[in-house]
Amino acid sequence: MKPEQLYQSLKDFAEKIEIDVVEHNFKNAGINVKSGLCKVKGKKIFIINKHKSVRKKIEILSDCLREIPNEDIYVLPAVRDLLDKKG
């Protein structure tokens, strides 16, 4: 699976477990900002720096999703393999 497809599949999986993935430009934030999961008004949002490479986005997002119980949810085999790997 191409990196772009894998990243999209990870975002699709996040959506299934009610996590919105949002990309933002952190360059103009004026403070040190890190990608990660947060909760706003009861809704889970994963914010990621849009200037990261696709491979880095895959690494960051999969590290987050790996921590959330997901055994009962169908995901593509390539995504499951990635989530089952230890970081």
Q: Which domain holds residue 42?
A: 3-84
pLDDT in tens, 2-45: 999 999 999 999 999 999 999 988 777 677 778 889 999 999 99
What is the pLDDT at residue 45?
95
For the chain, how many structural domains are there in total?
1
pLDDT in tens, 40-69: 999 999 999 898 999 999 999 999 999 888
Is the whole model's pTM more than 0.85, yes or no? yes
At residue 63, what is the residue type? D
What is the pLDDT at residue 34?
82
